[in-house]
Structure 1
């Protein structure tokens, strides 16, 4: 009996690692009636770093095909409401597509239509960085043979040219090519109109009783003609790709769940881990154009490049289940490190659009270290170390106005706007009265030394010290020495004993800017604070009039006049990276009970945590309503890390 129980328990544990247990944890149904998904509420599915995506149909008019594609190389343009919709005639009678059983599994979207005569199952996966495969299986449910006629049609809603070339339907754009490879080549009748097409199989297909046939359509998206020339290939082993897809996704899930966390057996927590991975993977984009390595968009519904501040968090989360993507996301940003060591704010398909007006908070060394901890890859550490050193020194050469060892956020163009962007907290209240100070001809600083920036630089010094020791590079003790000095300065100058909290300080005079914000608990995340200081900060975090709101961790305390929970961006709404800094910071000082309470309070009250709605950019701390961009990657990254601790 004990053996049977153990076998059943093991079976239950192993089943948790299978993607079949995570069906429809995101609602993929939509109607792509708009011409672009930017700022829309559409949930899409992509994978493998592809630059296109699809959804499941919501309207009967779209039944028989997957909605889309949406092209991210065209900044979210909707090419078609359903670009390849199948039509069937069964024994010369049109098959009626009633509402399907629609399923979204991690890595695969599916639809199932059935009547007394046949069942049609359609499954979509991404087979590589440019292509998706749709598998169509028609099963004869009856006891007599059935004859089947198959056709497809589609209508394009963006400026393009349709052509029938090499037995393919080719949709050409001013920039980009979309191809569809249909089965039964040389047995198809094709009609092309200005913005629509129809493909008809010439032959009737006979399916014997209780038997089935399977055929595939390949959809490929290329950003330009050269991309097509280099990357197009017709997939000859389509079914193997479906097998590989299942193995790969089961592997992701197994790795993430194997990290455990505090509630490893809670189905809600497991669902959130998987939802977080799906969010990251749908925003994965492969190297293309001037992007030399793969990376992750912040959100396909708003952004169309890689951001540094986001990429470091994405990489740290990918280390938990897909470290190679984490490495490449880091490389993608360092590909454009300038000669002075600066990392751009964001990089794009066209490098002329890269933003060097500002950088972003220095979490690159942390991201590299998180990847190293999971992989033990010393070669990656060796590759990144000199680049990290150059970036670290850049801050002190360009963002330390009075050369006292405490840095400021700033910009390369002297604008306060870009300086606030550099902090990552674009419109935070602490910058309302900030002024700009010129450091050199291409560097300006805000007139305040920021506690979060210097906390991050402290952590970076510790990590560079560890890396140099591992790589047998001189300088480890110097980094430790500098870290100890910086720690003392932060704790002496930026901590206020009266209020028990950390603040930014003015460059001139070093007076504290007594405005509480989430940056005040960053010294706990980087372990700068003493036990007494951490305890005092934890009391502020636990205060229900300030930061322990209905959804905890607002970016500005709820008892202040400038608190704006619904429209404030960084003046009230809850951002999940700040939740991560807060929870992990509390755990660093053994405040586990409070950390658990606050994390579960967030999960219980924030929209999208307990249902099949997407993860968002930020949340209203008073109502739990989701705000900002949907399917937001750094929110998913922070959530995944928190749940895997």
Structure 2
């Protein structure tokens, strides 16, 4: 059953689910597309096939496609008449195929019409579409690119005769490959003429850290009318078989598709899709435009006018990072960033939980798919290699697993347990009880794994740790995997120099089942307390009364333990504790993880008040961009060192929601406004970043980062 009412909000930890209806405001008048033009700068033409590790050109994709495009700028002669790219993903890594692979050329009376001489050409990114307009003597040329499926971009050219006499034009398209500089990648692409246009085939290349193809991939252009194509080396020319005559004051349309597939089976499935698009492009265009109007309406509903462009930018970021089912990825998911080499072709667990919460606000079905993409690879009890990890969710999944030469797939560790939160938040938007029923036993198995494999002393407080895995072959490797499991890889609290190490975890029969850090982490246990509350709510909704009551009692018990053992009254903050002695690790400085108890609702009122004091203190966490991952007062504070000071928007989200939960809404509003206004580019047309310098607001690390975008949406 699906409910149209967004309801079932107000979960209180360890307690009862309060069923409060969330009123849906009246539908906003949908703005015209130009109202959100260029919320993100998508202009640029690549110079080389291999992007920088962080691609300097922002791109657009949709529907889970594995290829993407940008816009040229006026004066970009190498791309005039075409869209920059495409950027294609060689299973896991991004490469540019061309500066602009399909450039339309117009001729009249045997002479080229110079598009570069157009009056005031416009190159515009709109929600769900890229558009170019060229004003020429007596002619207007408009190009629009949309994604009509998860493998195919649909391009339409409108040639409008603005004069008073018929015009007869010869129409053609040209393009050239950008070859990689080095072998074996250099010889991977090959150009071929086809009956309907042109295609690029790819040779088999298995370069684990740079380029992965199976020799079955293809990028192909197909036109809606008869064409002739000639190929010369790395360049081609396609011409319409007959001249195009355009009546006075009338437009004429030309349509083509640009399809990127990995396998012959994908191509066979896509062939009728392409045929239908070429026959009836209008239906696909209307459907795409209506979907994007719904998306924009959803993310801007109730958002102050000055923040709506940021909301649309967050939406576009998430949709561009959407990758469709392919390879070992069994469901559509959202990668951290198409713009960063190492984040392009894979799905991370806690990224997925956070992204699903943001995506649920505009596409609950996609949010559900993301969650399924991770649970597809939940370790089963009958696993031949790691039965002791039954229920575990791996850290990272990619197009290739290790058996296929994938180096990025990671089962050395898991990631923080936020899956039940994500499932519940998606359900709040969708009302899809079937999804709850599907996910509940899987969530319970994952929750139980934490206590079976990550509670070294059985005291109910869990530790981050590492799996029994060939890669975890020594003390330092295991410590590193455990730090990765926290998601805060290099945070000071995990420094080996400060005494962090791992201990063995064994089952009742003495068999090794994993490793734990020698500290119990406050964020982990707060997340687990929250998960118990969400699982109790799901169980109650499904009619599992006894299970709901049992989880509620467990949540209350864990809440009391966190309050008693992990809060330090002398400093007014929460800390990790030493596994052996129970000592609070205050000497490692304050980290933003100490605010997670507020988000989870496990702090007492007086404890929350003390933490609020730190979160609003400019010498602690209320920096220029608020919520650094390490307090400004800490001896380990380093504003540009990943988890040792930069501001991550997920931790800012948890802090802001925690302040709101305990009644400090004014503080939360002021700090959220400061964050949005001080983080470079957020309110302009710059990309949404992985993190930011807390002292200057300077952008850091990956551009177009998904969980930042998702939780910006979830804040509104």
TM band (smaller chain): over 0.9
Partner of 2:374: 333
Unaligned runs of 5+ in 2: 1-25, 180-187, 204-212, 381-389, 507-511
Whether 1:486 and 2:558 are equivalent positions in the alignment is: yes
The alignment partner of 2:493 has SS state of helix
Structure 1 CA distance for aligned equivalents of residues 192 and 616 of structure 2: 63
Matched, 1:539 2:613: yes
* Alignment partners' CA distance in 2, 1:453 and 1:139: 61
Q: Residue 412 of structure 2: SS of its match in structure 1?
A: coil
Of 232, 257, 263, 2:271 maps to 232
1:249 aligned residue:
292
Secondary structure of the equivalent of 1:179?
strand
The aligned counterpart of 2:38 is 24
Bigger CA drift: 452-461 or 191-200?
191-200
Q: State the alpha-carbon separation in 1 of the partners of residues 247 and 271 from structure 2.
A: 36
Q: Which of the numbers 95, 100, 104 marks the counterpart of 2:113? A: 95
Are positions 1:586 and 2:586 aligned together?
no
Distance between the aligned counterparts of 1:191 and 1:202, measured in 2? 13
Cα contact 2:197–2:229 (8 A) shared by 1 = no
Shift of 1:14: 4.0
Report how far residue 560 of structure 1 moved: 2.7
Q: Distance in 2 between matches of 1:92 and 1:169?
A: 24
State the Cα RMSD in Å.
1.4
Quote how far apart the aligned CAs of 1:16 are: 4.7
Q: Distance in 2 between matches of 1:422 and 1:17?
A: 43
User: Which residue of structure 1 lines up, in the alignment, with residue 87 of structure 2?
Assistant: 70
For residue 71 of structure 2, give the secondary structure of its aligned residue in structure 1: strand
Partners of 2:432 and 2:248 in 1: CA distance: 55
In structure 2, which of residues 154, 176, 188 is the aligned counterpart of residue 155 of structure 1? Answer: 176
Deviations 1:75-103 (A, max 9, x none): 10111111101111134332112362011
1:209 to 1:577, Cα distance in 2 relative to 1, 3 A:
same
Alpha-carbon displacement from aligned partner over 1:523-559 (angstroms, at most 9, x marks no partner) = 0001001111111100001110111111110001123
1:13 Cα offset (Å) = 8.0
Q: Which runs of 5+ in 1 are unaligned?
A: 1-11
Indicate yes or no: 2:242 matched with 1:203. Answer: yes
**Which residue pairs with 1:8 in the alignment?**
none
Which residue in 1 is equivalent to 2:569? 497
What SS class does the counterpart of residue 243 from structure 1 fall into?
Answer: helix
Question: d(CA) in 1 for partners of 2:693 and 2:33?
Answer: 32
* TM-superposition CA deviations, 1:541-590 (whole Å, max 9, x none): 11101111111100011233321112x10000000001100110100011
> Aligned partners of 1:44, 1:525: CA distance in 2, in Å?
34
Q: Does 1:364 align with 2:364?
A: no
- The answer to whether the aligner puts 1:430 opposite 2:501 as a matched pair is no
Q: Distance in 2 between matches of 1:435 and 1:578?
A: 25
Query: Is 2:172–2:239's contact at 8 Å kept on the other side of the alignment?
Result: yes
Distance 1:460 1:13 in 2: 33
Which residue number in structure 2 is paired with residue 6 of structure 1?
none
Cα distance in 2 for partners of 1:28, 1:126 equals 16
CA offsets per residue over residues 21-49 of structure 1, 9 Å max, x none? Answer: 11111111011112233422210000011
Name the counterpart of 1:561: 635
| In the alignment, structure 1 residue 57 sits paired with structure 2 residue 72 | yes
In the alignment, the residues of structure 2 paired with residue 289 and residue 623 of structure 1 have an alpha-carbon distance, to the nearest angstrom, of 41
| Contact map agreement 2:98 2:178 (CA 8 A) in 1 | yes
2:253 match: 214
Q: Structure 1 residues 82, 607: closer, same or farther in 2, change over 3 A?
A: same
User: Is the counterpart of residue 348 in structure 1 residue 398 in structure 2?
Assistant: yes
Tell whether the 8 Å contact from 2:346 to 2:397 is kept in structure 1 after alignment. Answer: yes
Is 2:59 the partner of 1:44? yes
Q: Does 1:472 align with 2:554?
A: no
Aligned residues: 624
CA contact (8 A) 1:89 1:150 kept: yes
CA distance in 1, matches of 2:634, 2:312: 37
Once residues 561 and 398 of structure 1 are traced to their aligned partners in structure 2, the CA distance between those partners, rounded to angstroms, is: 33
Q: State yes or no: 1:529 paired with 2:558.
A: no
Mapped contact 1:469–1:476 kept (Cα < 8 A): yes
Please list, as runs of the form range in 1=range in 2, the aligned pairs for 1:313-328 lying within 5 A after superposition.
Answer: 313-328=354-369
- CA distance in structure 1 between the partners assigned to 2:30 and 2:701 by the alignment: 32
Instruction: State the partner residue of 1:602.
Output: 675
Partners in 1 of 2:464 and 2:271 — Cα distance? Answer: 45
Which of 310, 320, 333 in structure 2 is aligned with 1:282? Answer: 320
Give secondary structure in 2 for the equivalent of 1:82.
coil
1:171 paired residue among 189, 200, 217: 200
Structure 1 residues 202 and 165 mapped into 2: Cα distance closer, same or farther (>3 Å)? closer
What is the TM-score normalised by the length of structure 2? 0.85
Distance 1:305 1:296 in 2: 8
* Post-superposition offset of 1:622: 0.7
The counterpart of 2:533, out of the listed 449, 455, 462, is: 462
- Alpha-carbon displacement from aligned partner over 1:147-191 (angstroms, at most 9, x marks no partner): 211111111123312212332312111231101002322xx2311
Following superposition, the deviation at residue 621 of structure 1 comes to 0.6
3-state SS in 2 of match to 1:338: coil
Quote the Cα distance in structure 2 between the aligned partners of 1:596 and 1:637. 18
1:17/1:257 contact within 8 Å kept: no
Secondary structure of the equivalent of 1:178? strand
Q: What is the rounded CA distance, in whole Å, between the counterparts of 1:577 and 1:290 in structure 2? A: 27
Higher relative contact order (CA 8 A, sep 6+): 2
SS at match of 1:270: helix
What are the superposed Cα offsets for residues 118-163 of structure 1, whole Å, 9 maximum, x if unpaired?
A: 1100000000000001110111111122221111111112331221
After TM superposition, give the deviation of residue 17 of structure 1 in Å: 4.6
Give 1:285 deviation, angstroms.
0.6
Per the alignment, residue 406 of structure 1 pairs with 461
Q: Secondary structure at the match of 1:524?
A: helix
